[in-house]
């Protein structure tokens, strides 16, 4: 099968989920690297700034400040090829002796303390400064405060240089990792090749994939496929069973039809023989039609494709009398007293109306066929602690206790039964009941007769409220 351009790809999906986080990590790593480099640059420059303050203080302590700083000292202090340096020398007695800028300064430290570093600003420009105090040799009673400051330009430039050295190396490392990931994903996906080859080698075999060589990560997928295979096998088996049942059940009436047609053709001079043959043909045709309808009904009831999710809430107290009303004329023709006995309040279950109608039709039809003329047939409905009980009871000849367990088997009919039938009615009832989570039971009625009961689970209160 050709792979289209826009068809989803597991490899592309894995790489996309890896590539985006790796890109974000590269950005975060660059920010972290710049922060670390700036911290390192600040530490180095702070140490140099403190040394400059100490050097200037030592120079001023042994020098003479009557005429201020010499031009040479001022040049050395102000010279900075990477930015600009600022200084300030103040005397406790004489005030400002020399400076090249006025920037904010904290209170001076005590004499003999190490240089104190602080952040300040010159207008809108931030500065980093160091201040130290000392007693000059020329006047030990006086206190000089020496401050040295510099801009932050060089610090940031050094941090950028470190970043520019680190990022290419980290990028190469990440590219190498991505290549390894690509190779790893490609190698890891090869574990699916034996499974793909094994499935491709199958022709008409629909068996479970199994778990022998299936990776743990795709076990849910293979189990889902196995479930699909099981449902497909069930559908195919149902189809094969239907074909076999149809062939088995239709063989006799079709042979009878052929026989009576040949009989009518062979004796076409006798109207009575032709009429008799046509009567048999009509009877066999009806039997064939009923058998076909019963087979189709059984197939629908057994179908694994009938989704219980499509069921809705049904009020049996309304449905059952409606179905009984449709069979009154047929019951009168059969000489059977058909009646209903049930509560007047709603009795809700969850199910499919058409299937429930077919279930009840088969129960009534079974009673009408086998109860016999002059008998009574009662359809009852009642709420019991276990759910909703639907039953059909007759006072006909009944069924021996030894044969009760066989009721519901496909094509099973009581020995010696003269009535025509397919033996599928109760089988259909049991399949439909199973679809609705119901249970079918059979019991003899004293002194004679049969009761077929279907116990449905009652619908939940929430489902009834939505109905």
In this prediction, the residues of the chain whose per-residue pLDDT falls under 50 are 1-3, 305, 462, 465-466
Any domain includes 364: yes
Q: Do residues 126 and 268 both lie within one domain?
A: no
Give the whole-angstrom CA distance, residue 14 versus residue 268: 81
Q: What is the pLDDT of residues 393-436, one digit of tens each?
A: 998 888 888 888 888 777 676 765 655 666 677 888 888 888 88
Any domain includes 289: yes
Pairing of strands 387-394, 337-342: unpaired
Residue/partner pairs of 255-264 with CB below 8 Å, 24 or more apart: 256/280, 256/284, 257/281, 257/284, 257/285, 257/288, 260/284
Q: What is the pLDDT of residues 189-245, one digit of tens each?
A: 777 777 777 777 766 667 677 666 666 767 777 777 777 777 777 666 656 665 655
Q: Do residues 266 and 341 both lie within one domain?
A: no
pLDDT at position 390 is 92
What stretches of 373-458 show up as alpha helix (H) in DSSP? 425-435
Please provide the DSSP assignment of 266-301 as one string: HTTT-HHHHHHHHHHHHHHHHHHHHHHHHHHHHHHH
Q: Do residues 39 and 120 both lie within one domain?
A: yes
**Number of domains forming the structure of the chain:** 3
Q: What is the pTM assigned to this prediction?
A: 0.46
Start-to-end Cα distance in the chain: 47
Q: Do residues 269 and 336 both lie within one domain?
A: no
Residue/partner pairs of 215-219 with CB below 8 Å, 24 or more apart: 215/191, 218/192
Q: Do residues 258 and 359 both lie within one domain?
A: no
Residue/partner pairs of 15-18 with CB below 8 Å, 24 or more apart: 15/178, 15/181, 15/182, 15/185, 18/178, 18/181
Closest to 293 measured CA to CA, from 339, 346, 368, 242: 242
Phi, psi for 201 (deg, rounded to 5): -75, -15
Any domain includes 204: no
Q: Which CATH number belongs to the domain containing residue 30 in this structure?
A: 3.30.450
Give the whole-angstrom CA distance, residue 421 versus residue 424: 8
Q: Do residues 315 and 406 both lie within one domain?
A: yes
From 256, 279, 302, the end of a domain falls on 302
Closest to 394 measured CA to CA, from 419, 364, 360, 420: 364
Rg (CA), the chain: 50
Q: Which CATH number belongs to the domain containing residue 388 in this structure?
A: 3.30.565.10
Any domain includes 3: no
Strands in 311-396 per DSSP E? 312-315, 337-342, 348-351, 376-384, 387-394
3-class SS of residue 379: strand
Tokens of 231: 């449902």
Closest to 256 measured CA to CA, from 275, 281, 278: 281
Q: Do residues 102 and 222 both lie within one domain?
A: no
Any domain includes 174: no
What letter would DSSP give residue 409?
S
Q: Do residues 278 and 401 both lie within one domain?
A: no
Domain that holds residue 280: 216-302
pLDDT at position 287 is 63
pLDDT at position 454 is 92
Q: Do residues 140 and 27 both lie within one domain?
A: yes
Q: Do residues 456 and 319 both lie within one domain?
A: yes
Q: Do residues 319 and 410 both lie within one domain?
A: yes
Any domain includes 169: no
């Amino acid at each position: 099968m050709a792979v289209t351009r826009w068809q989803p790809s597991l490899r592309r999906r894995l790489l996309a989920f890896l590539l985006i986080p790796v890109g974000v990590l590269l950005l975060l790593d660059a920010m972290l690297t710049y922060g670390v480099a700036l911290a390192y640059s600040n530490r180095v420059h702070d140490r140099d700034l403190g040394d400059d303050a100490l050097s200037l203080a030592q120079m001023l302590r042994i020098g003479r400040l009557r005429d201020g700083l010499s031009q040479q000292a001022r040049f050395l202090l102000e010279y900075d090829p990477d930015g600009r340096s600022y200084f300030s020398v103040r005397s406790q007695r004489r005030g400002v002796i020399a400076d090249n800028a006025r920037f904010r300064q904290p209170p001076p430290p005590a004499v003999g303390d190490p240089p104190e570093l602080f952040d300040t600003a010159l207008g809108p420009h931030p500065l980093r400064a160091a201040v130290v105090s000392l007693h000059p040799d020329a006047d030990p009673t006086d206190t000089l405060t020496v401050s040295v400051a510099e801009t932050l330009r060089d610090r940031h430039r050094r941090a950028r240089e470190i970043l520019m050295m680190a990022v290419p190396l980290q990028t190469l490392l990440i590219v190498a990792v991505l290549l390894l990931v690509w190779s790893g994903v490609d190698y890891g996906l090869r574990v699916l090749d034996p499974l793909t080859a094994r499935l491709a080698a199958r022709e008409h075999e629909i068996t479970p994939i199994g778990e022998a060589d299936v990776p743990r990560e795709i076990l849910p997928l293979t189990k889902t496929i196995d479930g699909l295979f099981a449902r497909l096998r069930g559908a195919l088996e149902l189809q094969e069973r239907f074909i076999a049942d149809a062939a088995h059940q239709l063989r006799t009436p079709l042979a009878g039809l052929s026989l009576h047609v040949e009989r009518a053709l062979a004796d076409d001079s006798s109207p009575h023989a032709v009429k008799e043959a046509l009567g048999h043909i009509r009877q066999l045709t009806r039997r064939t039609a009923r058998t076909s309808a019963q087979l189709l009904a059984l197939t629908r009831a057994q179908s694994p494709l009938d989704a219980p999710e499509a069921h809705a809430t049904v009020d049996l107290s309304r449905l059952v009398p409606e179905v009984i009303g449709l069979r009154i004329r047929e019951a009168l023709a059969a000489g059977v007293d058909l009646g209903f006995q049930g509560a007047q309040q709603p009795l809700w279950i969850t199910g499919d109306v058409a299937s429930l109608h077919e279930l009840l039709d088969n129960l009534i039809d079974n009673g009408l066929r086998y109860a016999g003329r002059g008998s009574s047939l009662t359809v009852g409905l009642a709420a019991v602690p276990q759910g909703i009980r639907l039953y059909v009871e007759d006072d006909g000849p009944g069924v021996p206790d030894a044969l009760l367990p066989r009721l519901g088997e496909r094509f099973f009919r009581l020995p010696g039964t003269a009535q025509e039938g397919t033996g599928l009615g109760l089988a259909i009832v049991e399949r439909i009941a199973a679809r609705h989570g119901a249970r079918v039971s059979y019991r003899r009625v004293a002194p004679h007769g049969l009761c077929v009961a279907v116990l449905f689970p009652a619908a939940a209160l929430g489902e009834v409220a939505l109905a």
